[in-house]
Amino acid sequence: MSASKPLKPYYFTLAAGVRQEIKVAGNFIGVYTAASTVQIQADDNKPLPLNQGDRQTFEQPYQSLALESAANQVVLIIAGFGELKSDLSGVSVAATATIVSPSLIIAPAHVVVPDTTTTLLLPAYAGSQQRIEIYSPITNVTELFLGPATLAAGHGMALAPGAGLELDLIGALYGYHAAGVNQTYYIGVVQRP
């Protein structure tokens, strides 16, 4: 059996009727982004029809997942060991990075970061620590720098396209990039005290 891995985001571009497999061990699956139903099969179990916002916890851990869709679509799932305590409905962040509903920010969300603009990715949580997951899709063209509000080009912790990070935060998190275009990132709080 694989070592216990915490929840991580996994990003897929599914072609209609084409099965994609991933080797990941866990006991939880949550669908953050899906335009239509996704069939997700854990090991040799019966495929589960899951939609955006759906989640499934398993009594027996799985070692692999297979995803299939009847339509072409981009899917973001959260998988691994643990359980997301927030809902998976997501929140909207406009290109100006104005949070539409700050009270829902604990749900996983996509964040559009405008080019050469220091952007709030996640506000502070009443001075308490929170554990987050952030993922940069492989389609992004340059790294995102993470840090405080004073963040600028070439400073902070770099997150490359196709990479993900788990961070424990006290305070707000900002991002900055100079890609020449807006870039999208997926972020979610996975634990709070």
Nearest to 91 by CA among 112, 110, 65, 67: 110
Instruction: Give the DSSP letter of residue 4.
Output: P
Task: Tell me the residue range of the domain where 49 lies.
Answer: 8-80
Quote the percentage of the chain above a pLDDT of 70.
Answer: 79
| 128 and 64 in a common domain | no
The pLDDT assigned to 84 comes to 64
Count of domains for the chain: 2
| 126 and 177 in a common domain | yes
| 65 and 14 in a common domain | yes
Do the domain assignments include residue 60? yes
Do the domain assignments include residue 12? yes
**CATH number of the domain where residue 182 is located:** 2.60.120.770
| 186 and 124 in a common domain | yes
| 72 and 122 in a common domain | no
| 118 and 47 in a common domain | no
Do the domain assignments include residue 94? no
pLDDT 10s digits, 44-95:
999 999 998 888 999 999 999 999 999 887 777 888 888 765 544 433 222 2
C-alpha 186/C-alpha 10 separation (Å) is 10
Is the Cβ–Cβ distance between 174 and 151 less than 8 Å?
Answer: yes
Do the domain assignments include residue 158? yes
| 146 and 182 in a common domain | yes
Quote the percentage of the chain above a pLDDT of 90.
Answer: 16
**CATH number of the domain where residue 43 is located:** 2.60.120.10
| 116 and 62 in a common domain | no
| 118 and 76 in a common domain | no
| 35 and 107 in a common domain | no
Structure tokens at 170: 């006290």
Do the domain assignments include residue 97? no
Q: What is the mean pLDDT of residues 157-170?
A: 79
Between the alpha carbon of residue 22 and those of residues 4, 19, 33, the distances in Å are: 16, 10, 17
Confidence band for 188, pLDDT divided at 50, 70 and 90: confident
C-alpha 71/C-alpha 68 separation (Å) is 9
| 164 and 110 in a common domain | yes
Task: Provide the 3-class DSSP secondary structure of residue 125.
Answer: strand
Do the domain assignments include residue 62? yes
| 179 and 144 in a common domain | yes
